[in-house]
Amino acid sequence: MDRYPPIAEHGLVGDLQTVALVSSKGVMDWFAAPRVDSPSIFAALLDHDKGGHFHIGPDATDVTYRQLYYPDTAVLVTRFMSPDGVGELIDWMPPNTSGSPTDRHTVIRGIRAVRGTVTFNLDCRPRFDYGRAKHELRLDDRYAAFHAPGIACHLRTTFPVARAGDDVTGTVTLNAGQTAGAVLTVCAADGAAPPPTNEEEITEALWDAVNFWQDWVRTANYRGRWPDMVRRSAITLKLLTYAPTGAPIAAATMGLPEQVGGERNWDYRFTWVRDASLSVRALLDLGFAEEASAYTRWLGDRIHDRLEMPGERLQIMYRVDGDPQLTEEILEHFEGYRGSYPVRAGNAAMDQLQLDIYGEALYAMAEGREIGVQAGYRGWKAAAKTLDWLADNWDRPDEGIWETRGGRKDFTFSRVMTWVAFDRGLRLAEEFSRPADIVRWRDTRDAILGQIMTKGWSEKEQALVQHYDGDVLDASLLLIPRVGLLGPKDPAWLSTLDAMDRKLVSDSLVYRYDPAASPDGLRGSEGTFSLCTFLYVDALARAGRLRQARYAFEKMLTYANHVGLFAEEIGPSGEQLGNFPQAFTHLSLIMAASTLDDALDGKQTL
């Protein structure tokens, strides 16, 4: 087993409440439960020796590995080809369709010999609470129970397993056509042990999962040029959404580095208002109204929560249940992915001031009106009161969209999105005849635009720039034509797009900004930001630069991993970096594909 496989060498499985990563060699090296933001059970991806893993693979040395998804599903197939035979490992989690939170989650790992004879080895080594909690093992032939404080894992197999200290190993030899399996169930420490399993039950559960995912994907209305990548992105967004609340998380993992060996190692298993609000547009582009509606309701609850409280009306991120507490700690006992220390759990950026989130929140509410998702009178009053508050509080330095830790500045993108907040608020008030301080909102919106075009404009670069005190470019501004602050062919915007081409684009890949030119309070560098590359495609398409847009999009698709997944960034050698897979990247892929399809088909895009 590789100590640290490449970040991209993984597939994702999940049950709509939590997720797990499986490497292309059959190692489950990331799994947190009972919720996606819970402490880990397997975290070998962050510390090979202390993190814990669950490996099933062939007992052979000369092996070729291949991995794929069963078509249009979240069922992951890992294939092993050796001189003695060909075997398969099939991983999935039965989808939890009840809509209610549960502490019981199951990972099913089916194995079979396709040709010849294959001997499979099993090695299950859970390490609870990020490897900090000890566990006890109870073992009985084909059943093992791992008990730690507050949590238990029950392992059922169709073949005998043996003790290896407080862990479990096993071996099974299969001839062509024979199957076996292992089922891991996580539950509360006092939860009932699941019954024994057999091959027939595993097969039935497999087809139930296949039918669930294929039935869901079939409802998508995408008919464009890139159906496989768009559907894979949709499934990934679905896996990264906590079904009981409808809140999408930013990524499945924590601690994976933006630069190997560097310190930019964050916990992304939370719901950012910004990311999630943009996902509404992506989901609506595909016709997934139910998912878009669920998040819009979740967002409305967050706005209402702080309506009568002092201070900010929204926090930049929350836990999936709406809890605002995301206290950050450093897991000092973990060495980090390939030595990328520190490993952080929680996220201290929760306390940052990022004024753009109000624009993203109103953008999501306005987009939702397409499917009849209205906030209702109570929700509108909360939104209107928030805008009244924002009219007094928009003109402040903040930390900006990229959560820099180098001090507050007057970030242009933050002003752009506060303009969006008032613009969309005015549209909603007019469209639905809602009570609003129209004159004040309009005057504030217009004042923000004037400030952006004077203080945010650099004569040197002939472009809108990152903040008012410099000439640094910032790719977040690629959203300007999508949100409508400037038209996609406005001379000022085209000049800004040209400046980004010169300074931020590297063979179609886009950097967020230049940390050397605009210090962000952190050491090291980072790769190109995949979200920004897809926003670049979107902006090019809207500007009518269709050949350039399509070529950039097609090239970007080549950086996807073997099963169509993207992390946060692309490194200098084309490697994927950062937490994986990242929702921001996949939602922007969907948005770019939809915009580019419309532009190539001659449809008007706004």
In this prediction, residues 362-366 reach a mean pLDDT of: 91
Does residue 266 register a pLDDT over 70? yes
Rounded-to-integer distance, Cα 211 and Cα 371, Å: 26
DSSP string for 381-432 = HHHHHHHHHHHHHSSS-B-TTTT-SS--B-BHHHHHHHHHHHHHHHHHHHHT
Does residue 93 register a pLDDT over 70? yes
Does residue 499 register a pLDDT over 60? yes
114-150 residue pLDDT tens? 999 999 999 999 999 999 999 999 999 999 999 999 9
Instruction: Tell me the backbone φ, ψ of residue 128, rounded to 5 degrees.
Output: -75, 155
Closest CA to 253 of 403, 91, 93, 30: 30
The CA radius of gyration of the chain, in Å to the nearest whole number, is 24
Q: What is the DSSP letter of 133?
A: B
In this prediction, residues 181-189 reach a mean pLDDT of: 97
Count the Cβ atoms, other than its own, within 10 Å of residue 159.
17
Does residue 207 register a pLDDT over 90? yes
Look at strands 317-318 and 271-272 and give their pairing: antiparallel
Q: What is the pLDDT of residue 521?
A: 56
Rounded-to-integer distance, Cα 454 and Cα 86, Å: 65
Look at strands 136-140 and 143-148 and give their pairing: antiparallel
Rounded-to-integer distance, Cα 131 and Cα 331, Å: 10
Which residue in the block uniquely carries the two structure tokens 């249940």? Answer: 321
Count the Cβ atoms, other than its own, within 10 Å of residue 447.
15
Q: Which of 338-347, 350-359, 515-524 has the lowest mean pLDDT?
A: 515-524
Q: What is the pLDDT of residue 606?
A: 41
Which residue in the block uniquely carries the two structure tokens 């920004």? Answer: 532
Assess contact for 363 and 416: CB atoms under 8 A: no
Q: What is the pLDDT of residue 373?
A: 56
In this prediction, residues 99-112 reach a mean pLDDT of: 96
Q: What is the pLDDT of residue 605?
A: 44
Q: What dihedral angle (degrees, nearest 10) is formed by the CA atoms of 205, 211, 217, 220?
A: -150
Does residue 255 register a pLDDT over 90? yes
Q: What is the DSSP letter of 70?
A: P
Q: What is the pLDDT of residue 527?
A: 85
**How would you class 165 by CB atoms within 10 Å of its CB: exposed for 0-12, middle for 13-18, buried for 19 or more?**
exposed
Assess contact for 28 and 55: CB atoms under 8 A: yes
Closest CA to 43 of 256, 322, 321: 256
Who's near 360: CB < 8 A, 6+ residues apart?
273, 274, 277, 278, 417, 420
Count the Cβ atoms, other than its own, within 10 Å of residue 60.
17
Assess contact for 89 and 110: CB atoms under 8 A: yes
Which residue in the block uniquely carries the two structure tokens 């409280």? Answer: 309
Rounded-to-integer distance, Cα 571 and Cα 353, Å: 29
Please give the structure tokens belonging to residue 222: 């995408």
**Buried-state track 73-86, b at ≥16 Cβ within 10 A, e below 16:** bbbbbbbbbbebbb
β partners of residue 64: 81
What pTM, to 2 d.p., does this model score? 0.96
DSSP string for 556-592 = HHTTS-TTS---SEE-TTS-EESSSSBHHHHHHHHHH
Mean pLDDT for the chain overall? 94
Does residue 381 register a pLDDT over 70? yes
Q: What is the pLDDT of residue 374?
A: 59
Who's near 558: CB < 8 A, 6+ residues apart?
none
Q: What is the DSSP letter of 155?
A: E
74-84 residue pLDDT tens? 999 999 999 99
390-403 residue pLDDT tens? 999 999 999 999 98
Does residue 481 register a pLDDT over 60? yes
Does residue 366 sit in helix, strand or coil? Answer: helix
Please give the structure tokens belonging to residue 579: 């937490």
291-301 residue pLDDT tens? 988 998 899 89
404-445 residue pLDDT tens? 767 899 999 999 999 999 999 999 999 889 999 999 999 999
In this prediction, residues 227-243 reach a mean pLDDT of: 97
Q: What is the pLDDT of residue 368?
A: 74
Instruction: Count CA atoms closer than 13 A to 433's CA, side-chain side.
Output: 0
